[in-house]
């Protein structure tokens, strides 16, 4: 049994009529509401028969004429809203493959040189270890859930089917997929390019391509990209277009032979990053910054116009033989492109047609960039020019001058970039110093704020204490409730007169003098003060003095208030000191 791709193609040729009929029945993969009577309204899952793909019948490029199977409605519809319902991904037995040495690493995974039967093939390994479940869905690797497994399988198979549906001479062909339960991986069996990558050819030459080869290669790549953007069943954005992803199908014996290189076939490959156009917005960044458009770097917005930008960079590679922004820091390149400060230098002696072709791809606004169909027209016009058959030696000398000129431009750009970097470093250091000062100032402000708050707290306490004291001083005391009436008559020693009356001291009551009379009183010393016997506080105890036994004593009793010797005092009188001589006379009269 021959498992080679050639035998498979022979079988397909035998059944060509059947396959041609089957290709006319397509599946609707996106909903579309028709505008007007001539457009069909499509719903996902509907079957549609293609009646014509001629744009002269449909009236517009990218529109086909067809008939809905369910309703028999005939009209035009967008070609990228349908897909081939009979496309089946070919399964290749892993034992039929012979995996050789590694020849590269792509966006999809590692790439090996191998054999499928007698045919050289390129074998790519998928990065997902769960991809082998695409053929054996009952197996769940590492205990992964069915939901995760189905998501991985659907994503992988959709990309493989997308690749298998691409049929163009400048697109690498996918023969099939081969699952392996041993390695738990999925292998893509693809067409093998014997000439290697276009970037390897430029490295061997150490210069750019000659004008006639350059323009022919530009035409092939533009033709393949136009197919991806406008003619494929599902319009595709490559997102990583560069020389390393362009392969040369035939083997190259002499990389400097212009005639040999002129008739080589180029193949666009590495669709690990490719996406359908309707899914092109807000995707994660991919590819290399030097080939990416400004909007891709800024906003991760990929579109057909971002592929046009990358195509312009690819042309610059082929023309000069140099890597874009060689020796520059990747982040530096990304910032320069995103801010439109960087642009690849075009040598001053570069032909105007080539310069215009590249600069048209590098318009800042995506809408101002041409489509690949417009680029193809420009390229065909350039091919018709007779001066394309230039002298190889003179052109090689010109390319050497370009290399020197480009190197000088890059050096100048690096010097400016270094100056900018030094300024940025100085500004960064200054910003650090300012940040330190700001933090110190904030610390001081915080301390000052805390002190101010402490002072405010003390002032509030003092103010509250003063307010409390003032409130206590001005607070009216509580009045005790009266339980009786005022008894004025019970007051003792208090009389109330009119407001104008004067206070009068009353006469003494029960006032008396007690006098003791002694016989033969001793002589009194005039120099000494008379001695007055002490009086008793008791009114009933008489005052006595020593007297002889035969002496008669007359004592005034308490009852002799009305004696002629009684003396009274008024409020205006003052008792006088007793007269001693008078007292003697009085005493003698009484005794004798």
Q: How many CA atoms lie within 13 A of 470 on its CB side?
A: 6
Phi, psi of 139 (to 5 degrees): -90, 130
Q: How many CA atoms lie within 13 A of 19 on its CB side?
A: 10
Q: What angle do CA 361, 365, 371 make, to 5 degrees?
A: 45
CA nearest neighbour of 221 among 208, 238, 205: 238
Work out the angle between the directed axes of helices 372-383 and 211-226 (0-180°, nearest 10). 150
Q: Is 124 marked within a binding site? A: yes
Residues forming beta bridges with residue 189, ordered by sequence position: 123, 176
Whether the CB-CB separation of 47 and 70 falls below 8 Å is answered with yes
> Active site includes 240?
yes
Q: Is 365 exposed, middle or buried (0-12, 13-18, 19+ CB in 10 A)?
A: exposed
Residue 569: both structure tokens together: 């005092």
Question: Residue 193 contacts by C-beta under 8 Å, 6 or more apart in sequence?
Answer: 122, 172, 247, 248, 249, 267, 269
Q: Is 390 exposed, middle or buried (0-12, 13-18, 19+ CB in 10 A)?
A: middle
Owner of token pair 């007292």: 583
Radius of gyration of the chain (CA): 64
What is the spatial distance between Cα 22 and Cα 16, in angstroms, rounded to a whole number?
Answer: 10
Phi, psi of 413 (to 5 degrees): -65, -40
First to last CA, the chain: 195
Q: What angle do CA 440, 443, 449 make, to 5 degrees?
A: 140
Q: Indicate which residue of 223, 240, 270, 307 is catalytic.
A: 240
Whether the CB-CB separation of 301 and 281 falls below 8 Å is answered with yes
Q: Which residues are annotated as a binding site?
A: 124
Residues classed as catalytic: 240
The binding site for ATP consists of 124
């Amino acid at each position: 049994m021959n498992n080679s791709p050639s035998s498979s193609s022979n079988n397909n040729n035998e059944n060509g009529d059947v396959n041609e009929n089957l290709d006319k029945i397509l599946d609707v993969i996106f909903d579309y509401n028709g505008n007007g009577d001539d457009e069909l309204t499509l719903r996902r899952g509907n079957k549609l028969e293609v009646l014509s793909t001629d744009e002269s019948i449909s009236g517009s490029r990218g529109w086909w004429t067809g008939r809905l199977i369910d309703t028999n409605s005939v009209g035009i519809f967008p070609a990228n809203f349908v897909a081939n319902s009979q496309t089946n991904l070919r399964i290749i037995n892993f034992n039929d493959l012979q995996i050789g040495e590694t020849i590269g690493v792509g966006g999809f995974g590692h790439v090996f040189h191998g054999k499928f039967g007698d045919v050289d093939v390129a074998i790519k390994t998928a990065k997902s270890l769960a991809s082998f479940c695409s053929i054996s869905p009952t197996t769940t690797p590492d205990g992964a859930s069915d939901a995760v497994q189905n998501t991985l399988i659907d994503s992988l198979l959709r990309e493989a089917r997308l690749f298998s549906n691409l049929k163009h001479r400048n697109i690498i062909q996918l023969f099939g997929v081969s699952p392996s339960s041993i390695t738990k991986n999925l292998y893509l069996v693809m067409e093998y390019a014997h000439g290697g990558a276009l970037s390897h050819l430029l490295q061997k030459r150490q210069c750019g391509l000659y004008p006639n080869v350059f323009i022919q290669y530009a035409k092939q790549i533009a033709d393949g990209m136009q197919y991806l953007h406008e003619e494929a069943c599902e319009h595709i954005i490559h997102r990583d277009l560069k020389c390393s992803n362009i392969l040369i199908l035939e083997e190259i014996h002499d990389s400097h032979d212009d005639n040999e290189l002129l008739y080589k076939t180029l193949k666009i490959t590495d669709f690990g990053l490719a996406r359908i156009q309707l899914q092109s917005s807000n995707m994660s960044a991919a590819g290399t910054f030097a080939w990416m458009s400004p909007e891709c770097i800024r906003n991760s917005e990929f579109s057909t116009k971002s592929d046009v930008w990358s195509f312009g960079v690819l042309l610059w590679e082929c023309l000069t033989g140099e890597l874009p922004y060689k020796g520059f820091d990747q982040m530096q390149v990304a910032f320069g492109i995103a801010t439109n400060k960087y642009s690849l230098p075009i040598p001053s002696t570069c032909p105007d047609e080539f310069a215009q072709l590249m600069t048209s791809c590098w318009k800042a606004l995506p809408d101002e960039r041409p489509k690949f169909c417009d680029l193809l027209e420009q390229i065909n016009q350039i091919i018709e020019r007779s001066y394309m058959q230039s002298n190889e030696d003179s052109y090689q000398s010109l390319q050497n001058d370009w290399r020197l000129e480009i190197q000088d431009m890059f050096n100048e750009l690096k010097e400016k970039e270094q100056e900018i970097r030094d300024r940025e470093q100085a500004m960064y250091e200054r910003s650090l110093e300012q940040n330190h000062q700001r933090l110190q100032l904030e610390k001081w402000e915080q301390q000052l704020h805390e002190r101010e708050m402490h002072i405010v707290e003390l002032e509030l306490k003092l103010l509250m204490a003063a307010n409390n004291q003032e409130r206590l001083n001005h607070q009216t005391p509580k009045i005790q409730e009266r339980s009786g009436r005022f008894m004025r008559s019970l007051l003792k020693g208090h009389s109330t007169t009119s407001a104008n009356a004067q206070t009068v001291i009353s006469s003494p009551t029960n006032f008396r003098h007690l006098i003791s009379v002694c016989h033969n009183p001793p002589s009194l010393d005039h120099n000494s003060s008379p001695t007055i016997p002490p009086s008793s506080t008791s009114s009933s105890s008489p005052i006595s003095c020593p007297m002889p036994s035969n002496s008669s004593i007359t004592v005034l009793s308490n009852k002799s208030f009305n004696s002629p010797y009684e003396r009274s005092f008024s409020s205006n009188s003052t008792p006088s000191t007793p007269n001693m001589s008078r007292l003697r006379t009085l005493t003698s009269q009484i005794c004798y």
